[in-house]
């Protein structure tokens, strides 16, 4: 699909990932006036009439808007995370179908995978069990967009695709102590400890759990490539193909930030999913996506950006 003269709606387009997706679209030569980014203050997507309003006269919708946070946020607000994400996805896709939108790109989450998925996670494993408990309401709400996309393709011939990005990080990430994910949370902890001359930091869990991370700019590139080149019903993983334990991640951040204090593990807090790493072969095969950013250099960029802000 040539995106050049298409009208493209990017929900969540002012957010962390969305701002990079908009940047990539502009780099492809799409006119700024053809990209619409609805702001949540003006368009609450939990309201049906707003979903109808913003989908009118759009050719493509990239649905990134989500309520999201780390393990603590997920434990405190499971109902909100389930309802808000489910209702936004369902209504946006239905409004797009009713308005005759040519393509809908649904961006899901790695939290949709079962808790004990064999590593590397293959898209065919998606329905082989229940997600990790702290992430389940959020993961299942986002997973329903896959069910909806496949059902709408079957009944209406509606072109909806579904992507499963792994944990993202990078410049512009959310560093809020209430809702940040693991990388920004750790960077903030170390920066605060250095500033306050603390000789230790406290980290949730045992450090044994593993995660895969994808630099935000790479994720945006994968989303735009899939918008151009992928039109099938099968879900597609977006990742970098690396795996690192939380223990090694903490040690890497401490090393880069030159922090010599101790790490105290709070084992009363959950680890979350035991292991996470994706099989990323389908994305490369189907639309030529391969992550470019080296993990350590991506972490350095993220740390440098954060330290400039504080």
User: Is 126:112 a contact under the CB 8 Å cutoff?
Assistant: yes
- What pLDDT does 69 receive? 80
**CA 284, CA 289: separation in Å to the nearest integer?**
5
Q: What domains can you pick out in the chain, each with its CATH number?
A: 8-166+214-241+276-291 (3.40.50.720)
Is residue 71 pLDDT above 90, yes or no?
Answer: no
- What pLDDT does 63 receive? 98
| Structure tokens, 23 | 């940047």
pLDDT band at 73 (very low <50, low <70, confident <90, very high): confident
Contacts of residue 310, defined as CB under 8 A and 6 or more positions apart, other chains included, come to 191
Q: Is the pTM of this model over 0.85?
A: yes
Q: Taking residues 146-168, report their average pLDDT.
A: 98
First to last CA, the chain: 42
- What pLDDT does 157 receive? 98
Q: Taking residues 70-76, report their average pLDDT.
A: 84
Q: Taking residues 41-54, report their average pLDDT.
A: 97
pLDDT band at 81 (very low <50, low <70, confident <90, very high): very high
Average pLDDT, the chain: 96
Is residue 178 pLDDT above 90, yes or no?
Answer: no
Catalytic residue positions?
138
pLDDT band at 72 (very low <50, low <70, confident <90, very high): confident
- What pLDDT does 180 receive? 87
Tens-place pLDDT, residues 257-294: 999 999 999 999 989 889 999 999 999 999 999 999 99
Q: Taking residues 96-117, report their average pLDDT.
A: 97
The percentage of the chain sitting over the pLDDT mark of 90, rounded to a whole number, equals 92
Q: Taking residues 62-85, report their average pLDDT.
A: 92
Q: Do you know the residue count of the chain?
A: 310
User: Is 123:234 a contact under the CB 8 Å cutoff?
Assistant: yes
Which three-class secondary structure state does DSSP give residue 23? helix
Tens-place pLDDT, residues 290-301: 999 999 999 999
Tens-place pLDDT, residues 127-143: 999 999 989 999 999 99
Helix (H) or strand (E) holding 72: helix 71-76
């Amino acid at each position: 699909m040539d995106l050049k003269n298409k009208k493209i709606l990017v929900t969540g387009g002012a957010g962390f990932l969305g701002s990079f997706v908009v940047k990539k679209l502009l780099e492809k030569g799409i006119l700024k006036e053809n990209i619409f980014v609805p702001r949540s203050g003006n368009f609450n997507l939990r309201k049906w009439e707003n979903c109808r309003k913003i989908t009118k006269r759009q050719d493509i919708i990239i649905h990134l808007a989500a309520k999201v946070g780390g393990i603590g946020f997920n434990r405190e607000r499971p109902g909100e995370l389930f309802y808000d994400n489910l209702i936004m996805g369902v209504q946006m896709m239905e409004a797009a179908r009713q308005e005759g939108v040519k393509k809908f790109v649904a961006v899901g989450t790695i939290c949709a995978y079962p808790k004990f998925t064999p590593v590397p996670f293959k898209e065919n494993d998606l329905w082989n069990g229940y997600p990790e408990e702290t992430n389940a309401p959020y993961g299942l709400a986002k997973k329903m967009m896959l069910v909806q996309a496949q059902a709408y393709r079957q009944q209406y011939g509606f072109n909806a695709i579904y992507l499963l990005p792994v944990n993202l990080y990078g410049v512009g990430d959310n560093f809020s102590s209430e809702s940040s994910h693991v990388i920004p949370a750790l960077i903030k902890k170390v920066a605060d400890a250095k500033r306050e001359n603390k000789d230790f930091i406290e980290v949730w869990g045992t450090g044994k759990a593993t995660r895969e991370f994808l630099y935000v700019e790479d994720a945006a590139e994968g989303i735009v490539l899939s918008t151009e080149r992928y039109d099938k019903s099968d879900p597609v993983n977006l990742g970098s193909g690396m795996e690192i334990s939380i223990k090694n991640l903490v040690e890497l951040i401490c090393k880069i930030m030159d922090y010599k204090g101790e790490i105290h593990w709070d084992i009363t807090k959950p680890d979350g999913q035991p292991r996470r790493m994706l099989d990323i072969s389908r994305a490369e095969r189907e639309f030529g996506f391969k992550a470019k950013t080296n993990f350590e250099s991506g972490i350095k960029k993220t740390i440098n950006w954060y330290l400039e802000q504080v």
